[in-house]
Structure 1
Amino acid sequence: MNRIGLFFASLLVVVALVSSTLFVVDQRQFGVVYALGQIKEVITEPGLHVKLPPPFQNVTYIDKRLLTLDSSDADPMLTAEKQRVVIDWYVRWRISEPTDYIRNVGQNEAAGANQLNRVVRNAFQEEINRRTVKELLSTKRDALMTDVKREVLEKVRGEKPWGVDVVDVRITRVDYVEAITKSVYDRMEAERKRVANELRSTGAAEGEKIRADADRQREVTLANAYRDAQKIKGEGDAEAARIYGDAFGRDPQFAQFYRSLEAYKSSFANKSDVMVVDPANSEFFRVMRNGGSSAPSAKK
């Protein structure tokens, strides 16, 4: 039994020793082998690899993929005309030389991100100080990002290279600080209200002008219609008078009788009409006294 236990114990020790000498490098990572704290080897190819067991050799991993660094602060920057603006940006970068990166930056991606954030912000500050707000919002924005990328590359590729490659630098937002933004919005609102009031005033003036013109045309139309109506009425009255004259001229006695009947009809139109006259001496009742003849009766 002791021999069997010793065998299994020895087997476990061998397995542990072998497993400590083998490691796998993922295709998304660099494998860095350390020998007593010094970089012994950088493995760039994925697969199964062999090293000495600890503490003689250790292995760490560094991401080789394209990384994204977003701006993390909102401190304002001054433009050429001393306007305070806040920008949001991001950087696409990757670790290209693990040895230089570990020696000059750090042993993980966070160390590179922290230092790169400071370098990029300083580059943006320097370039924005040379430009106006209009230039930041115009087509010169691309030139700004190109200049920032150039300055960052000069920094990371200096006397002590970082072992990183900066692929792209982009601005996602340019805005005034909150106090200035509120002031700008207030001015925009006031300007829009002024334009709206101006348009309302212009519309009201045009409306009054149209209504005045319509009233004038209405008065002119009514006056012309009244004039034409009076003219037609006068012509009708004249024609009626002529016809009456022609008709009554043929038999004056009948005409006198007809007019008297019309006068009687108008005088006694209502049952409540009362007329106080002397029929015997009144010229108004001559037709009735003469039995239908309007001529005075001959004396015998």
Structure 2
Amino acid sequence: MGAKGTSLLLIAVAAVVLLSMSVFIVDEREYAIKLRFGEIVRMDFEPGLHFKTPFVNTVRKFDNRVLTRNNPNEPFLTAEKKNLRVDFYVKWRIVDVGQYFRATGGDERLATSRLLEIMKDGLRAQFARQTVQEVVTADRAQVVDELMDTAGVTARELGIEIVDVRVKTLDLPPDVSESVFNRMRQERARVAAQLRAEGGETAERIRSDADRQRTIIIAEAQRDAQRIRGAGDARAAEVYAQAFEQDRDFYEFWRSMQAFRTSIGQGNDMLVIEPDGEFFRFLKDPTGGAGR
């Protein structure tokens, strides 16, 4: 290959290198900013192929997805000056890539470090106002909402948004744990005793009302029974009187038979009565002395 061919080859290689340095691709999962000597000149790139001026312009890319950072076993003091070990995590994402670059230089480790400090300051302020028992029994959702409200403003200064915060575990020293659990057991026992007392009071009220209604129902039933029995007795007396008026001899005979049935042949019953008495009148004479 001659000198001319070599020159053409070098020119072609240089052109390819320059072209590759002039082209960059922005993924849909990325933000991109163009820098000129360290100053931001553009940051509104859509996903796709873009161009830049080599050597003068540089491009920095940042993840635009939700990122997660864990922070295990962080110590915090409560209002009682008791030490708690808290395991939490924070989810965040970049929302203002220009502010993010200016605040952190585009260093994700620096950004997460500063974000964790913001979160720890917020949690520290939260726990410092509460006792151990209040921390253990507190509504986590309310704590998280308050934390996101206060820390979210500071996080915006870094060009990032706090998506979520979760306290995963709270570890207490053994002596503190036993004390807290004892107080919780006592509180639960107090609530249970109160509920039992209220239940007993309600049961007694229901039982008293049931007894009152039972007494009223029985009294009304006895009243109605007496009324019905009285009406029946009156009707029976009326029927007896009508029967007596229709055939007095038959009525006397029937009544005597009824008396015999209820008086004679009842086990060990014994009657001491004169045989000539009125009681045996129909036994001696079927007509009952009708001709007398």
TM-score, normalized by the shorter chain, greater than 0.5: yes
> What is the deviation of 1:145?
4.5
Moved more, 61-70 or 9-18: 61-70
8 Å contact from structure 1 (residues 69, 91) kept in 2: yes
The reply to whether residue 116 of structure 1 matches residue 114 of structure 2 is yes
Q: 1:49 maps to which residue?
A: 52
Cα distance, 1:224 vs. partner? 0.8
Tell me the secondary structure at the aligned position of residue 60 of structure 2: strand
In structure 1, runs of 5+ residues without a counterpart are: 34-38, 154-163, 249-253, 274-279
Query: CA separation in 1, counterparts of 2:139 and 2:287?
Result: 116
Change beyond 3 A, Cα 1:69–1:221: same
CA contact 1:67–1:92 (8 Å) conserved in 2: yes
Matched with 1:225 is: 224
- Asked if the contact 2:69/2:89 (under 8 Å) is kept, the reply is yes
* TM-score (structure 1 length as normaliser): 0.55
Q: Which position in structure 2 is the counterpart of 1:62?
A: 60
Alignment match, 2:98? 96
Q: Deviations over 1:155-205 (max 9, x none)?
A: xxxxxxxxx74354465446772667x959868866775565456434432
**Contact 2:126–2:143 under 8 Å retained in 1:** no
CA RMSD of aligned residues (A): 5.2
Q: In structure 2, give the amino acid aligned to 1:211.
A: A
SS in 2 for 1:177: strand
CA contact (8 A) 1:123 1:151 kept: no
The residue type paired with residue 218 of structure 1 is I
Report the 3-state secondary structure (helix = DSSP H, G, I; strand = E; otherwise coil) of the residue aligned with 2:52. strand
2:126 to 125, 128, 139: 128
Q: How many residue pairs end up in the alignment? A: 253
Identical counterparts, % of pairs: 13
Residues 171, 186 of structure 1: alpha-carbon distance in 2 compared, 3 angstrom cutoff:
farther
For structure 2, list consecutive stretches of 5 or more residues without a partner in the other structure. Answer: 267-274
**Counterparts in 2 of 1:198 and 1:187: CA distance versus 1, 3 Å:** same
The answer to whether the 8 A contact 2:144-2:166 is kept is no
- Secondary structure of 2:110's partner? helix
1:148 is matched with: 151
Counterparts of 1:19-34 in structure 2 under 5 Å?
A: 19-21=16-18, 22-26=21-25, 28-31=31-34
Q: 1:11 to 1:171 in 2, by over 3 A?
A: same
CA separation in 1, counterparts of 2:69 and 2:227? Answer: 86
Aligned amino acid, residue 109 of structure 2? A
Query: Is 1:177 matched with 2:170?
Result: yes
Q: What secondary structure, in the 3-state scheme, does the structure 2 residue paired with 1:96 have?
A: helix
Give the CA deviation at 1:220.
0.4
SS of match in other structure, 1:29: strand
Rg larger in 1 or in 2? 1
Give the partner amino acid of 1:263: S
